[in-house]
Amino acid sequence: MQQLKLRQQQLSALQELLTSEMAVVEGTPLQVSAVEQAVGLLAQSLRDMRQASRAMLLSKPEDVQAVSAAVSATDLRADEVSRMARQLLGVLRAFPRRGGLRQEQDEVPGASPEAIAEVPTTSCSESSPLLGQTCCICLGAFAEGDALKSIQCVHYHHAACLDEWLRIKACCPLCKAVMPT
């Protein structure tokens, strides 16, 4: 019974956290829908857990085994929903798109050649933690000696790839952070 109460508290806290994150996150309708669905799944799991708790309390001695199996299945589903919600919350916090901080990607014009030239370039060295990571634009791995660039968000890309991208959209292709002007 104690495990069911703890699971209910966990689900309730995750539901509250996702709901508060959803209030400040700007995203596409699909992203907002995913968060809304996660909140809905958490609410359904909470209802299921409450029903399981009531069933445990009201069960007759001869029904304990069947009720126990149903409660275990409910707890397993609640654990999966909880894990999914924690992962979604982690993504929302790792890649925030908060109101007023970024423009929608479609509204961001390309950068001028002068602004692109001002983006600092660095060289990928043998000891660099970036060595072997992937450029999200060309999907090529960073090799020793490659020229790399990053705008304010610190996502690195091949310099030539990012230059071409910035001519089209003056934002990071990963997190959509707008290039400083």
Report phi then psi at 164, rounded to 5. -65, -45
The pLDDT value recorded for residue 89 is: 77
Residue 72 has pLDDT above 80, yes or no: yes
Residue 103 has pLDDT above 80, yes or no: no
Whole-number Å distance between alpha carbons of 101 and 14: 25
Residue 96 has pLDDT above 70, yes or no: no
What's the chain's average pLDDT?
83
